Copies of this chain bind each other. A is one copy, B any other.
Amino acid sequence: MQSPFNTERLSRELTNLMERTRDRQLRLAVTGLSQAGKTAFLTSLVNQLRHAGLEAQLDLLPAAREGRLLGAQRLTQPDLGVPRFPYDAALSALNAKPPRWPEPTRGISELRLQLRYRPAQRGWLTPEFSHLTLDLFDYPGEWLLDLPMLAHDFDSWCQAQTQHNGVHRQALFSAWQTGVEQLDPAAEADEAQLADLAAAYADGLKQAKQAGFSDLQPGRFLLPGELDGAPVLQFFPLPDIELSTEQRQALPENSVYATLAKRFRYYQQHIVKPFYRDHFRRFDRQIVLVDVLGALNAGPERFEDLSRALQQLMHSFDYGQRSLLTRLFSPRIDRLAIAATKADHVTPDQHGNLVRLLEGLLAEPLKDLRFADIPVKALSLAAIRATQAREVNQQGQRLAALYGTTLEGEEVLIYPGDVPARLPDEHFWQQQGFDFPHFRPMGSSHEALAHIRMDAAIDWLLGDKLA
């Protein structure tokens, strides 16, 4: 007869115990450009975890399906100087009459959750309950595109900012363009003139955002907060400088060129770096949210613009040994999800295409991730479902349709159209336009929020920690 106290088993049990009893933390980065759905995702994530033991629909998350996940409690966050993620305000908006989407994020906020669960396999040393601390934070998507700026110096940034612009985008910057063409980089800087031109540039960025463009730098120009009026936000790219590197570097400190370059460097050092150092320095898991449907709606120039912005962004993170972020702050990430959000805005039969289109958009970064051997899952989801999938009978055919309420308050039953399975080419844009509708949230009053595949996302991002 074998003794129950054999050393191998004891050793395994002890390791298990240590794992269970030490303070286990998971820091999750929710990455997404403005409008990608970060706030909705975080609100739903907190909501699903809090209702996990009760009415939340989380069948794709084993710990919840097996009844082992008992719920989540908000803890005091570590940094007292950062606002708390406004979960209650977001829920109030969703449950208002009529229901509203939560306000877009205008600053940084944090949330710390403690998840309580029963371990799947219990030995005689395993405690009955375990805890996992989950650190989340939210921030304006506008600021995210500042990260790729760290890879530039002022000259290369000027080039990058002016080489890819299509006609629609250029038109939005015409006031700035006219002014900057008359500016002599070698002349003595006039504070007031630079301030005016920077305001015109910021105005162009704001209009471009309004018009559906994504590749917008510098991000703080869109949401300046307490930096409004500071010289660090008063620079802009200089297009077509006809000066050699030596000539540029020989320009006096008070020249237009040197003043703008100095402010660019100050922006990198004092605005961008601290943001990433404080918030992206250490995270274990990441989900990248992309509003693919919004970009399809906006047409080819803006779709191309989103694609470029995402590639820049993912390239900055890019997870290999030599990535920008690794060199700067050495984050360790062991798992990544990419998600096309707002999947409830198309019929379920289109979700497959949505994921394939997302994979097409992120093809280059996905290669890097595969090379770095970081597991990635691509999915489509709706963090907070705003529609119901229906079927309609048309001339004897059963067709998929969506039932929901538009932002204007009209109840509709529609077929919103097909999502292409690959990146649309020029021919495609000419033949077919996209016009996916926008829906308002359904309003749920005190129950868990309805969703699509939030459980799959949660399982991928933290399911293994609840085993």
The reply to whether A232 and B81 contact each other, CB–CB distance below 8 Å, is yes
- Asked if A77 lies at the interface with its beta carbon under 8 angstroms from chain B, I say yes
Interface hits, A215-273 → B, CB 8 Å: 225-232, 254, 259, 262-263, 266, 270-271
**A84 partner, pick from B80, B226, B230, B271, beta carbons under 8 A:** B230
B266 A83 Cβ-Cβ under 8 A: no
Bound: A323/B81 CA distance, A: 28
Query: Closest residue to A225 on the B side, CB-wise?
Result: B226
Verify A229–B81 contact, CB threshold 8 A: no
Report yes or no: A227 in contact with B81, Cβ–Cβ below 8 A: yes
Q: Judging by beta carbons under 8 Å apart, are B191 and A81 in contact?
A: no
In the bound complex, CA of A262 to CA of B226 (Å): 26
Expressed in whole angstroms, the minimum distance between the Cβ of A133 and any Cβ of chain B is 15
CA distance A74 to B195 in the complex (A): 13
- Cβ of A86 under 8 Å from chain B: yes
**Complex: A77 Cα to B232 Cα, angstroms:** 11
Instruction: List the B side residues contacting A254 at CB < 8 Å.
Output: 76
Q: How many positions in chain A have a CB within 8 Å of any CB in the partner chain?
A: 29
What is the CA–CA distance of A247 and B230 in the complex, to the nearest angstrom?
A: 49
The residues in A between 77 and 94 inclusive whose CB is less than 8 angstroms from any CB of B are: 77, 80-84, 86
Q: Do the beta carbons of B266 and A231 come within 8 Å of each other? A: no
Set of chain B residues within 8 Å of A159, measured between Cβ atoms: none
Specify the chain B residue showing the minimal Cβ separation from A235.
B80
Q: Contact between B109 and A263 (Cβ–Cβ < 8 Å)? A: no
Q: Is A107 an interface residue (CB 8 A)?
A: yes
Q: Which residues of B contact A259 (CB under 8 A)?
A: 76
* Min C-beta distance of A441 to chain B, whole Å: 22
Q: Which residues of B contact A229 (CB under 8 A)?
A: 83-84, 86, 109
Q: Within the oligomer, what is the number of copies of this chain?
A: 2
Identify which of A109, A189, A191 gathers the most chain B CB atoms within 10 Å of its CB. A191
Q: Which residues of B lie under 8 Å from residue A226 when comparing CB positions?
A: 83, 107, 225-226
In the complex, A270→B225 CA distance in Å?
19
How far, in Å, is A189 (CB) from chain B's closest CB? Answer: 8
Contact among B80, B227, B230 for A263, CB-based, below 8 A: B80
Residue of B nearest to A84 (CB): B229
Interface residues of A in 380-421 (CB under 8 A from B): none
A80 and B191 in contact, given A107-B226, A225-B226, A226-B107 (Cβ under 8 angstroms): no
The reply to whether A191 and B227 contact each other, CB–CB distance below 8 Å, is: no
User: Pick the contact of A231 from B80, B195, B227, B228 — CB < 8 Å?
Assistant: B80
Q: Which residues of B contact A81 (CB under 8 A)?
A: 227, 230, 232, 266, 270-271
Taking the nearest CB of chain B, how far is it from the CB of A197, in angstroms? 15
- Which chain A residues (353-381) contact chain B, with CB distance < 8 Å? none
User: In whole Å, how far is A88's beta carbon from the nearest beta carbon of chain B?
Assistant: 8
Q: Tell me the A181-227 residues at the B interface (CB within 8 Å).
A: 189, 191, 195, 225-227
Q: Which residues of B contact A109 (CB under 8 A)?
A: 229
| B residues in contact with A225, CB < 8 Å | 225-226
Do A227 and B83 touch across chains, with their CB atoms under 8 A apart?
A: yes
**One of B80, B191, B228, B263 near A83 (C-beta < 8 A):** B228
Q: Quick one: given A227-B81, A230-B82, A230-B84, are A76 and B266 in contact (CB under 8 Å)? A: no
B191 touches A74 (CB 8 A): yes
Residues of B within 8 A of A228 (CB): 83
Which chain B residue has the least Cβ–Cβ distance from A265? B80
B-side contacts of A231, CB under 8 Å = 76-77, 80, 84
- Give the CA-CA distance A228 to B108 in the complex, in Å: 11
User: Shortest distance in angstroms between A93's beta carbon and chain B's nearest beta carbon?
Assistant: 15
- Measured between beta carbons, the chain B residues less than 8 angstroms from A76 are 189, 191, 231, 254, 259
A326 to chain B, nearest CB (A): 27
Q: Give me 11 other A-B pairs in contact (C-beta within 8 A), A80-B263, A81-B271, A84-B195 excluded.
A: A76-B189, A76-B231, A76-B254, A76-B259, A80-B232, A80-B266, A81-B270, A83-B227, A86-B229, A107-B226, A225-B225
Q: Please name the 4 residue pairs, one residue from A and one from B, whose CB atoms are nearest each other, closest first.
A: A83-B229, A80-B232, A80-B231, A83-B230
11 cross-chain CB contacts under 8 A: A77-B231, A80-B230, A80-B231, A80-B262, A80-B266, A81-B230, A81-B271, A83-B229, A84-B195, A107-B226, A226-B226
